[in-house]
């Protein structure tokens, strides 16, 4: 049974979300503001956090930032329909998914299940060999990435995207295909892929503005081009 923390200052929203998540088999804790959420995560850490961005006191973006400083706990953001900028900032801070208000509680429960399933699949990857591309090494069992021997800090979604692309070198994928194949979404904002591609380039490319590994295929999407190693 996964433990989920629901953070929202709207009591009605919390009650509905908590009800659906409990019906889906999760243990659920609640918090009405950012301070309370951080206290809960310190004293009894959850396996996943459903986090509203508009909170009194410490807002959701700051809560997400503080969580990311010490934890890789999955975070699903609840955002207002028109706040695309906030959604992108949240993703850049390391949120794993988002649902826009007003939302279907059933859709949110499905998103929670999807994210937790990805975490489980990551834990099941113990027997997989590391993926190696020149000086870039991704260890799926240990869930670590190193470049030139230096550890890289990646969010779960960044890790999943990098692992998928490295495992399928030379194949171009559209953003829609990546949403479905990497994160199991049959719907969603394709700008999510764009944000994570940009963040990965900032971490694995010598010059993110002129990528050599994570290439853009114009009119299609993205492709992983392995580093050519001189074997002489």
Q: What pLDDT is attached to residue 1? A: 79
> What span, in angstroms and rounded, lies between the C-alpha atoms of 81 and 228?
44
Q: If we measure between CA atoms, which residue out of 50, 115, 56, 61 comes closest to residue 87?
A: 61
Cβ atoms of residues 222 and 215 within 8 Å: yes
- Predicted confidence pLDDT, tens digits, the chain (232 residues): 799 999 999 999 999 999 999 999 999 999 999 999 999 999 999 999 999 988 999 999 899 989 988 888 889 988 875 566 776 777 777 787 888 888 888 888 888 988 888 777 665 555 578 899 999 999 988 889 999 999 998 887 888 899 999 999 999 999 999 988 887 765 556 777 888 899 899 999 999 999 999 999 999 999 999 986 443 3
Q: What pLDDT is attached to residue 156? A: 77
Q: If we measure between CA atoms, which residue out of 196, 160, 49 comes closest to residue 112?
A: 49
DSSP string, 37-78: HHHHHHHS--SEEEEES--SSS-HHHHHHHHHHH----EEEE
Helix, strand, coil shares of the chain as percentages rounded to 5?
45, 20, 35
> What span, in angstroms and rounded, lies between the C-alpha atoms of 51 and 164?
27
Cβ atoms of residues 146 and 174 within 8 Å: no
SS3 202: helix
């Amino acid at each position: 049974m996964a433990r989920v923390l629901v953070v929202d200052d709207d009591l009605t929203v919390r009650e509905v979300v908590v009800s659906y998540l409990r019906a889906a088999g999760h243990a659920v804790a609640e918090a009405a503001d950012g301070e309370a959420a951080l206290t809960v995560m310190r004293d009894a850490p959850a396996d996943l956090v459903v986090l509203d961005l508009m909170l009194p006191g410490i807002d959701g973006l700051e809560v997400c930032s503080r969580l990311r400083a010490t934890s890789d706990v999955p975070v699903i953001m609840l955002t207002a329909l028109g706040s695309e900028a906030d959604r992108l900032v949240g993703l850049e801070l390391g949120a794993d998914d988002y649902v826009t208000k007003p939302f279907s509680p059933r859709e949110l429960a499905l998103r929670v299940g999807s994210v937790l399933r990805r975490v489980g699949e990551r834990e099941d990857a113990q027997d997989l060999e590391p993926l190696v591309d020149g000086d870039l090494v991704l260890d799926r069992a240990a869930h670590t990435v190193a470049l030139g021997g230096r550890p890289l800090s990646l969010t779960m979604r960044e890790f999943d995207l990098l692992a998928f692309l490295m495992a399928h070198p030379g194949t171009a994928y559209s953003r829609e295909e990546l949403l479905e194949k990497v994160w199991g979404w049959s719907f969603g904002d394709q700008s999510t892929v764009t944000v994570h591609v940009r963040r990965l380039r900032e971490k694995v490319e010598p010059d993110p503005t002129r990528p050599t590994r994570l290439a853009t295929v114009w009119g299609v999407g993205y492709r992983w081009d392995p580093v050519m190693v001189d074997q002489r």
